[in-house]
């Protein structure tokens, strides 16, 4: 009989051996549990002693929050950091990118139909609050920059002001022209508006007209960027369709404003590897997502992070920015 068959036979017919083996397994099982507990305690102690025990921030890189040394951090029930009352220590996240918060807005208006269209409230900021936020940025020492400035900063960080910030407004609604543009002009603040090349044709009066986009493009304060032809969710779409939306938007806008359009924002913040490849191939130099964060890396110019701002006044914006130290 083969040795392994003998072993099986003896185990099967000898109860004491079986029990011994079973007991042996139990001992092994409890040893494994003890080892796991010891490893867990070691990891906790190591992180605790180095101040990195806010593992949430470390395992979700898109949040881009630096780990804190001995920090007191107030969180809401989702574990999202609301305030940071300590001085954040320089760490690997900071050194791998430039701190350039990119804010994004949609409607700058008072909701025309608050009862029929309550959903719009989550996408708007009143002109009054927008003004308050822009004044806050000025008073807090922020300097608005363009995406071209950001690209220059990637090459030479010394070209950037001390507190750079990019203001973006998506979709190109007419209220940008009538409400936001006058405020930006008054305060001499730069902004990028990501428009739909077909918007004014699809919904005249709702999206800015060609003439309005053209006028904006002449302002030294405004950069006109692309947001597809008609606000398509590009993720998962065929290459043919994505190509039409990305290349079509660029071509139409460039022929309208007579200058190169170099910056793109993904509608709904949605993209896939094909989208990124096509945006690059079309000649765009940056693309902005809705992934939250304030540090921008020169290695990822096609997935720039942005911070969504709600309908708050200047102090609300201050609080939002404090979440991205």
Q: Does 171 help bind Zn ion (rule: CB under 5 A)?
A: yes
Residue located via tokens 């922020």: 142
Q: Which stretch binds Zn ion (CB under 5 A): 113-121, 170-178, 208-216, 249-257?
A: 170-178
Residue 231: CB minimum distance to Zn ion, A: 6
Size of the site for Zn ion (CB under 5 A): 3
Q: 194 near 290, Cβ under 8 Å?
A: no
| Of 161 and 236, CB closest to Zn ion | 236
Residue 266: CB minimum distance to Zn ion, A: 8
User: C-alpha angle with apex 123: 259 to 213, nearest 5 degrees?
Assistant: 20
Angle at which helix 15-50 crosses helix 3-13, to 10 degrees, equals 100
| End-to-end CA separation in angstroms for the chain | 72
Mask: binding to Zn ion, 120-159, rule CB under 5 A, as x and -?
----------------------------------------
Q: Determine how many CB atoms are found less than 10 A away from the CB of residue 279.
A: 24
Q: 321 near 307, Cβ under 8 Å?
A: yes
How many residues does this entry show for the chain? 325
| Of 163 and 201, CB closest to Zn ion | 201
| Of 63 and 106, CB closest to Zn ion | 106
Distance CA 115, CA 98 (A): 42
Residue 175: CB minimum distance to Zn ion, A: 14
User: C-alpha angle with apex 306: 82 to 58, nearest 5 degrees?
Assistant: 55
| Of 196 and 320, CB closest to Zn ion | 196
- Per CB under 5 A, the list member of 57, 149, 170, 245 interacting with Zn ion is 170
Q: Determine how many CB atoms are found less than 10 A away from the CB of residue 147.
A: 25
| Of 67 and 174, CB closest to Zn ion | 174
Residue 165: CB minimum distance to Zn ion, A: 20
Residue 196: CB minimum distance to Zn ion, A: 8
Residue 227: CB minimum distance to Zn ion, A: 6
Q: Which stretch binds Zn ion (CB under 5 A): 14-22, 108-116, 267-275, 291-299?
A: 267-275
Q: Write out the two tokens for 86.
A: 């300590």
- Classify residue 218 by burial, with Cβ atoms within 10 Å: 0-12, 13-18, 19+: exposed
Is the CA virtual torsion 134, 67, 95, 269 positive or negative?
negative
Q: Does 245 help bind Zn ion (rule: CB under 5 A)?
A: no
| Of 137 and 226, CB closest to Zn ion | 226
Q: Which stretch binds Zn ion (CB under 5 A): 137-145, 172-180, 265-273, 275-283?
A: 265-273
Residue 228: CB minimum distance to Zn ion, A: 8
Q: Which stretch binds Zn ion (CB under 5 A): 92-100, 252-260, 263-271, 272-280?
A: 263-271
Distance CA 266, CA 268 (A): 6
Q: 271 near 300, Cβ under 8 Å?
A: no
| Of 65 and 195, CB closest to Zn ion | 195
Residue located via tokens 């030479």: 156
CA-CA distances (angstroms) from residue 31 to 17, 28, 34, 53?
A: 21, 5, 5, 27
Q: Does 267 help bind Zn ion (rule: CB under 5 A)?
A: yes
Residue 171: CB minimum distance to Zn ion, A: 4
| Of 149 and 171, CB closest to Zn ion | 171
| Of 267 and 301, CB closest to Zn ion | 267
Interacting residues with Zn ion (CB under 5 A) = 170-171, 267
């Amino acid at each position: 009989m083969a040795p392994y068959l003998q072993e099986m036979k003896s185990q099967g017919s000898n109860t004491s051996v079986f029990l011994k083996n079973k007991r042996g397994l139990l001992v092994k099982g409890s040893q494994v549990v003890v080892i796991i507990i010891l490893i867990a305690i070691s990891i906790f102690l190591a992180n605790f002693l180095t101040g990195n025990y806010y593992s949430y921030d470390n395992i979700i890189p898109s949040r881009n929050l630096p780990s804190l040394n001995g920090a007191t951090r107030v969180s809401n029930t989702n574990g999202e950091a609301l305030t940071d009352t300590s001085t954040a220590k320089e760490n690997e996240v900071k050194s791998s990118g430039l701190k350039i918060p990119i804010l994004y807005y949609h409607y700058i208006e008072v909701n025309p139909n608050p009862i029929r269209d309550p959903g719009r409230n989550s996408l708007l900021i009143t002109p009054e609050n927008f003004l308050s936020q822009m004044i806050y940025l000025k008073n807090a020492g922020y300097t608005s920059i363009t995406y071209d400035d950001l690209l220059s900063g990637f090459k030479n960080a010394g070209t950037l002001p001390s507190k750079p910030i990019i203001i973006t407004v998506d979709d190109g609604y007419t209220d940008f022209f009538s409400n936001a543009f006058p405020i930006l002009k008054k305060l001499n603040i730069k902004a990028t508006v990501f428009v739909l090349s077909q918007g004014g044709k699809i919904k005249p009066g709702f999206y800015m007209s060609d003439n309005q986009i053209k006028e904006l493009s002449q302002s030294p304060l405004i950069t006109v960027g692309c947001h597809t032809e008609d606000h398509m969710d590009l993720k998962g779409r065929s290459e043919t369709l994505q190509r039409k939306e990305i290349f079509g938007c660029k071509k139409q806008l460039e022929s309208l404003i007579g200058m190169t359009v170099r910056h793109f924002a993904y509608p709904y913040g949605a993209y896939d590897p094909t989208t990124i490849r096509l945006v690059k191939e079309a000649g765009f130099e940056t693309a902005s997502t809705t992934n939250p964060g304030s540090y921008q890396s020169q290695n990822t110019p096609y997935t720039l992070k942005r911070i969504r701002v709600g309908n708050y006044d200047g102090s609300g914006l201050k609080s939002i920015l404090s979440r991205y130290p």
